Amino acid sequence: MPGTGHEIKTVVIAPVGDTPRPGVLLYTDIFQLTESTLRTARRLAASGFLVCVPEIYPRGELAGVALEFDDDGKARGMAGAAAMPTSEFDEDRISVLDYLATRDDVTDLYVTGFCIGGHLAFRGAFDPRVTSTVCFYPTGLQDGKLGADIADSLSRAGDINGRLLIVFGSADPHVPADARLKIFSALYAAGLEHTEFHVYAGGEHAFMRDIGVRHDPELSDLALREAVSFFTGRS
């Protein structure tokens, strides 16, 4: 997929058939296009969506790289985030949404994401074309920590016109209770009183990643069902 002066490696997954359907921009965590994230994308697509999964570091040495879930992969992923200014994350988001908006088989535009991708999904909701957004345990909303600079995400909550669902685990050390309260309060102060805010008891950070000890299959299934229900208007 073309970005602004660079290519963005992207995986598009959709059910069989050319029936127009909602398009979902799905942001990965810092490890990019891993099989774990793509398995989740396939599950979401199986519920009737065209799911578009771009890499989040399309510039530099991590372009096209799926990182391992180990200390080295974590360090490289965090370094990739630290090298990206918010403006570049936003620039790439516009490129992906523009691509989805031009497809004849895409109707509505939705956004979702995990961890740093949850934060990017939140910023995706600023686009007036996006009608529904689901953020899974977004990091850095409470303090603006996203990339190379301090993001203005929470202060721009009033720019969100679509529907918003945010899911956290209660045992997430990256977004503890006081951080969740700050986010919740800011959303209400911005007038987003209809935001759905779910906190799953015992859920750890990255509980939906199906590799590692933090994975919680039951909560993962619940979260995906909630996302599908939310995207489809609780139909």
Q: Which pLDDT tens digit goes with each residue over 188-220?
A: 999 999 999 999 999 999 999 999 999 999 999
Average pLDDT over residues 57-75: 96
Residue 102 maps to a domain? yes
pLDDT above 60 (res 235): no
Residue 5 maps to a domain? no
Residue 168 maps to a domain? yes
In this structure, what are the phi and psi dihedrals at residue 44, rounded to the nearest 5 degrees?
Answer: -65, -45
User: Given this model, what pLDDT does residue 117 score?
Assistant: 98
Handedness of CA 214, 215, 216, 220 (dihedral sign): positive
Q: At what angle do helices 217-231 and 35-45 cross, to 10 degrees?
A: 40
Q: Output the domain CATH number for residue 143.
A: 3.40.50.1820
Q: What is the mean pLDDT of the chain?
A: 96
Residue 1 maps to a domain? no
User: Given this model, what pLDDT does residue 217 score?
Assistant: 97
Supply the DSSP symbol for 204: P
Residue 117 maps to a domain? yes
pLDDT above 90 (res 72): yes
SS3 193: coil
In this structure, what are the phi and psi dihedrals at residue 152, rounded to the nearest 5 degrees?
Answer: -95, 25
In which domain, by residue range, is 119 found? 10-231
Alpha-carbon gap, residue 232 to 235, rounded angstroms: 6
Q: What percent of the chain has pLDDT over 70?
A: 100
Residue 121 maps to a domain? yes
With bands split at pLDDT 50, 70 and 90, how would you rate the model's confidence at 3? confident
Residue 2 maps to a domain? no
With bands split at pLDDT 50, 70 and 90, how would you rate the model's confidence at 154? very high
Cβ atoms of 77 and 39 within 8 Å: the answer is no
Indicate the burial class of 79 (C-beta count within 10 angstroms; 0-12, 13-18, 19 or more): middle
Look at the chain and report how many structural domains it folds into.
Answer: 1
pLDDT above 60 (res 104): yes
User: Given this model, what pLDDT does residue 42 score?
Assistant: 97
With bands split at pLDDT 50, 70 and 90, how would you rate the model's confidence at 146? very high
Average pLDDT over residues 14-41: 96
Can you give the pTM of this predicted structure? 0.97
Residue 201 maps to a domain? yes
The pLDDT tens digits for 107-129 are 999 999 999 999 999 999 999 99
With bands split at pLDDT 50, 70 and 90, how would you rate the model's confidence at 165? very high
